[in-house]
Structure 1
């Protein structure tokens, strides 16, 4: 029963957008379908991961999730009603369709050139590409021998990576609409440079999201095909590290275990709960701002979670970038049961407001370039606001980038 409740609660959190906006135009939620299949359905229902942990831990984990969703969903609905009634005055609200599309193309071209040039310069400055390094995982995380050369170009690398990963969906849509060879070249080169970093989400996320946008707006038949393809893409991505030679198959592995290992969220969260139960370290909300402080700050969410599961170890020696904990669990480790309620309610409220605004934009405009820009802007700007419980400095650059699409900022 606990495994089923875990599945239901995590599914409702992941696909909550469909509850208030059950439409093929709700592209923001579509991308979570396949990811949810891998990170929720496979471990909870197929592999039965919760069965491997003490019943008391599973029971606590289940109660945290269920209480969270009970406060998240009503707030989501209230926020959505509010969002649908809020007017906006962004560039695409004011400018003519032709003028805005021209501006979006110009801004995207400039940013893509800067981003590609920056990543090339970064790899030259570091002297390695993670995918081709002797220790790919350590190189991906820029740890050990790879840390010092990375630090020389860290700012340039991060800025360039965020530029490309943020606007790749828009660049793909522009190529689709205009069939521009320049945008095809820049997008392809940018994709290769991101793949070389071994950052799967950054590398493939933009192209996949552009594909989701195009297929969702075509027809219902295309939408059905999209859902099938998405699951296939995410399953294939589970074998990414095996394909590029970073990992190798072991004789006792089955397909479901390989797929589940690519998104071991539930397993990681259970391990976290076991360690936390043995030695609780309450954050008292300090992880809310910890991600804004550079370096291995102790209350950075990634550093904090690694510190719980691997106490006393240097985070540089842990082969992980941190654990992904569900929203109510962050509330619990912050302010116990009150935190579960407050984090879930206010996040649900803000999520509903932004989905309501996004629905208004999508239904108002028929230009796929404007729709794509509005959707990407939604994700970039809404993320640091909706995610106020885990503010992250890496969420700020995409939001700043999208200001050039939302407002008429002069280049002169």
Structure 2
């Protein structure tokens, strides 16, 4: 079983940090952040716990070999992206825009608009909902907007979700801008947004802006980067153990789906039960007769609310056959690319889906690398990192698209315009025409 576990861990890890094979640099912040998850999600559970206990040999075989074959296909897709030329005219023009003296000043004006808009939308969302998850009678249900909180949330969903997406996009950029220019208003606005998100109990979104901003600033020095990398791993470990302890204290299996043993590895695995979750889903999928999705989950996330082919809803349906998923306090499961390929098209999907995803990611990574290397500016690094993280990488993850990545695409366009946005049709059209010229 050790051989199986090693192959499995390698396959799953490659699907997380394979981008290092085309961009191995301190400035590849998004991959550094993902690398921290491997320790708690795969390395410790896969090599130091009996994650496989209670599962059929058929499920284990499919899980191991789809992960390994999918990882190879993913690497091949990444390497194929080297044939995509980054010497295209539009890339050179974008580098020229980022190099202009006015870019940072104009982008800062856009940031200010977005920060104020995000604060307003989140506050309005809470007012319309009439509750704040952290202070609700049932915080766990309120966090997922399930049960009695669902109807109130639906009335405010567009305001709240729009504010949330704008906030998580602009907060790391604003924090870096504040550090570079010493303009504290931007940091204050970011902290305020962080608090508004924290009371929603979305702890990942509340902390991720600090992780991204810290990575951008740490990338400037090798010593800072090494400290940062250790910090990211430690933060993931602390978060996993925190989830486990919450399960123990509350007596509810909502923060972890594994019972956990007495060892440190068991506690970490219990707080980050991705491997167990994925095996549970695979067993449920097999027991249902392997009904391939034929890619319907690829676009299901673009349909609002609890559409049956939404990736999160689909995974919950597999595990809770016949149950009302709107009452289940969960946001769905995280699946590796290879497993999404398998449940969609079988073994053909195990090869094709990771290969295409790897190719798209490789192209986006190489473009981002060109933009960053073309300017060597900390603020530009922050902007490109955030655009890559929230707008481009979700596109490369086409197998689980979400409606919520669309605002990030529009914010990216808004933020890097050549001219400053003005809410006056005549001037805006003139600016747009100038940009096209």
Fold agreement, TM-score > 0.5: yes
Query: Aligned partners of 1:255, 1:70: CA distance in 2, in Å?
Result: 31
Gaps of 5+ in 1: none
Query: Aligned partners of 2:199, 2:377: CA distance in 1, in Å?
Result: 33
In the other structure, the counterpart of 1:203 is 206
Query: Aligned partners of 1:384, 1:90: CA distance in 2, in Å?
Result: 24
In the other structure, the counterpart of 2:265 is 256
Contact 1:138/1:144 (<8 A) preserved = yes
In the other structure, the counterpart of 1:273 is 282
Instruction: State how 1:40-189 maps to structure 2 within 5 Å.
Output: 40-87=42-89, 88=91, 93-94=96-97, 96-189=99-192
In the other structure, the counterpart of 2:375 is 365
Moved over 3 A (4+): 83-87, 89-92, 239-243, 249-258
Query: Aligned partners of 2:132, 2:242: CA distance in 1, in Å?
Result: 16
Matched, 1:9 2:17: no
- The two structures have a TM-score, normalised by structure 2, of 0.89
State the Cα distance separating 1:297 from its structure 2 match: 1.4
Query: Aligned partners of 2:267, 2:134: CA distance in 1, in Å?
Result: 20
Question: What is the alpha-carbon root mean square deviation over aligned residues?
Answer: 2.1
State the Cα distance separating 1:254 from its structure 2 match: 5.0
- The two structures have a TM-score, normalised by structure 1, of 0.94
The C-alpha deviation readout for 1:213-241, integer Å capped at 9, x for no partner, is: 11012x21111111111112222223555
State the Cα distance separating 1:152 from its structure 2 match: 1.8
Instruction: State how 1:339-354 maps to structure 2 within 5 Å.
Output: 339-354=349-364
State the Cα distance separating 1:43 from its structure 2 match: 1.5
Query: Aligned partners of 1:86, 1:203: CA distance in 2, in Å?
Result: 37
Matched, 1:294 2:304: yes
Gaps of 5+ in 2: 252-259, 424-437
Query: Aligned partners of 1:208, 1:198: CA distance in 2, in Å?
Result: 17
In the other structure, the counterpart of 1:383 is 393
State the Cα distance separating 1:289 from its structure 2 match: 0.9
State the Cα distance separating 1:9 from its structure 2 match: 0.4
Query: Aligned partners of 2:123, 2:329: CA distance in 1, in Å?
Result: 26
Partner residue of 1:403 out of 413, 423, 427: 413
In the other structure, the counterpart of 2:254 is none
Contact 2:86/2:366 (<8 A) preserved = yes
Instruction: State how 1:234-253 maps to structure 2 within 5 Å.
Output: 234-240=236-242, 248=249
The C-alpha deviation readout for 1:194-231, integer Å capped at 9, x for no partner, is: 111111221111111110111012x2111111111111
State the Cα distance separating 1:47 from its structure 2 match: 2.0
SS at match of 1:256: helix
